[in-house]
Amino acid sequence: MDYYGIGFSNIRLPNDSRSYIYKYNTSINQFPEEVFLHEFLHSLERTAKEYGYERPELHSYQQYGYKNEALIGQKRWYTDYMNKEIKANTGNIGLPQEVYTLKPAKSTDFKYSYDMKEFKEPENIIEEIREIFTNLSNKIKYLFGNK
């Protein structure tokens, strides 16, 4: 999660719809939502740490007897981590329930943040038309190169 002290997670999705990441294939993708959940849990882990809550490190699943399983990946670990149901000598551990009500990371928390408009839905007819022309232009550039 931490990148040279800046403190952010980044998931890059290519615009190419023919990319294998958009097709579920058990030999390539296991529990494909896992990467999104993993990065989200890093943000909750960071929030818990900022507020001084005790919790296990997200990457310490093997220490508690969990493993990366075929097809479901680390789903059991993540479920128990989120529900504070990891068995330990001191009782159950995991993310504290309070972490879900605390402030999420804000753009002001990051020195180099910017607003991503990649998934912004059009709010009126002008924005819808503009989006159609932008998508058309991008398709033409993709098909015929950036000439």
pLDDT, one tens digit per residue, over 82-138 is 999 999 999 999 999 999 888 655 556 555 655 666 667 788 899 889 888 888 888
- What is the pLDDT, as a whole number, of residue 34? 79
| Measured distance CA(1)–CA(59) in Å, rounded | 11
Same domain? 4 vs 38: yes
Residue 31, judged by CB atoms within 10 A of its CB (0-12, 13-18, 19+), counts as middle
Domain count, the chain: 2
Q: Answer for the pair 100, 53: CB distance below 8 angstroms, yes or no.
A: no
Q: Which pLDDT score is estimated for 134?
A: 85
Question: Which distant-in-sequence residues (6+ apart) come within 8 Å of 104 by Cβ?
Answer: 43, 47
- 40/106 same-domain check: yes
| Residues 46, 20 share a domain | yes
Rounded Cα distance, 77 and 34, in Å: 11
Residues 100 and 127 in one domain: no
DSSP output for 5-61: TS--------S-TTSGGGS--TTT-SSTTHHHHHHHHHHHHHHHHHTT-----TT-G
pLDDT score for 22 = 57
The mean predicted confidence, pLDDT, of the chain is: 78
The pLDDT tens digits for 68-82 are 887 788 889 999 999
Residues 106 and 125 in one domain: no
Q: Are residues 57 and 35 in the same domain?
A: yes
Q: How confident is the model at residue 64 (pLDDT cuts 50, 70, 90)?
A: very high
Residues 63 and 131 both lie in one domain: no
Domain that holds residue 143: 116-147
Nearest 10 degrees: Cα torsion 139, 140, 146, 147: 180
29-58: per-residue pLDDT in tens?
Answer: 556 677 778 888 988 898 898 888 999 999
Same domain, residue pair 98 and 128 = no
Q: Looking at the structure, do residues 80 and 16 belong to the same domain, yes or no?
A: yes
Same-domain pairing of 60 and 132: no
Predicted pLDDT at 91: 93
Q: Does residue 131 share a domain with residue 100?
A: no
- 84 and 14 in a single domain? The answer is yes
Q: What is the pLDDT of residue 143?
A: 81
